[in-house]
Amino acid sequence: MSKTIAIAGMGWLGQPLAQKLKSLGFKVKGSVTQLEKAISLKKNGFEVYPITISERGVYGNTQDFLAQVDDLVVMIPPGLGRNTGSDYVLKMSHFLTEVEKSSVTHCIFISSISVYGDEQGKITENDFPHPENESGRQLFQVEQLFLNSACKCSIVRFGGLFGGGRQPARYLAGRKNLTGGDAPVNLIHRKDCIRIILEIIKQQAYGYIFNAVNPEHPSKADYYDHRSIELGLNKPRFSKSNQTEIFKQVDSVNLNTILGYSFSDPL
């Protein structure tokens, strides 16, 4: 009998993850915030539930979504980039209450390397996070909620995401006087994101923290120069960095030692 995987948040990463799981014989459930999107995904053969999470509570058939689920993947972003004043911790505590009411026993919470501060320099999972912005602080608090919940949970901290039409070089093309040109990039392709999540599910590797970042760290200036040329875009221009400036470089110990995972595609 195939396992049932639930994906809370079937967006840019959740949909291709669902397709891959389905191709491997897993039964897949998903949640989205919009009814129209749920209807569209149902037409493509997925069991999808419209669920809204707010500071007041969770709305939708959450227990039906979580019923008979073996592993839950939570990829609901904080959405705090524009200083909305939103309380992500409160929202996710409501959702976690629903999870703990259900029969779900294993969970993957998708987080971000934004829980680490730039001043921390070179970092692995062995380093305690010191977030520098509100989004990172709230994300780290939510990580703790999930790690300390009744559900056995692994945390995956993704670096900057690219692939599937998303190419960071397009955002910086032609811009001038950019800072941080000497900073190392901390990126991960969507294909690797999916493979890492699949390995956690397959190996039942729960109770861990994984920094999911490609081990290649060219400087931003070199990386964006190269990518801009490849895409036929105007190269961005970076101003000189302060020689004493510390830059964040995120690496992983646990991907290899726990999952035996290695990145096959060059950055």
Q: How far apart are the first and last CA of the chain?
A: 38
CA angle centred on 66, ends 60 and 69, rounded to 5°: 160
Q: Could you tell me the pLDDT band of residue 244, with boundaries at 50, 70 and 90?
A: confident
**Which of 58-67, 202-211, 231-240 bottoms out in mean pLDDT, i.e. has the lowest?**
231-240
Residue 133 CA from chain centroid, whole number: 17
Q: What is the rounded distance in angstroms from the CA atom of residue 78 to the CA atom of residue 88?
A: 6
pLDDT score, position 262: 94
pLDDT at 34 over 60: yes
Q: What is the dihedral of CA 40, 45, 47, 49, to 10 degrees?
A: 0
Q: What is the pLDDT of residues 110-139, one digit of tens each?
A: 999 999 999 999 999 999 999 999 999 999
Exposure of 266 by Cβ count < 10 A (0-12 exposed, 13-18 middle, 19+ buried)? exposed
Single out the residue of 127, 262, 125 nearest to residue 207, CA to CA: 125
Q: What is the pLDDT of residues 168-218, one digit of tens each?
A: 889 888 899 999 899 999 999 999 999 999 999 999 999 999 999 999 999
- Whole-model pTM: value is 0.95
Single out the residue of 81, 94, 76, 104 nearest to residue 14, CA to CA: 76
pLDDT score, position 83: 55
Give me the chain's average pLDDT, please.
93
228 phi, psi to nearest 5 deg: -65, -40
Q: What letter represents residue 228's amino acid?
A: S
Contact 17, 194 (CB under 8 A): yes
pLDDT score, position 245: 86
**Mean pLDDT throughout 222-229?**
92
Name the CATH superfamily for 4-163+186-215+246-257. Answer: NAD(P)-binding Rossmann-like Domain (3.40.50.720)
Q: Report strand pairing: 152-158 vs 106-112.
A: parallel
**Segment (H or E) for 157:** strand 152-158
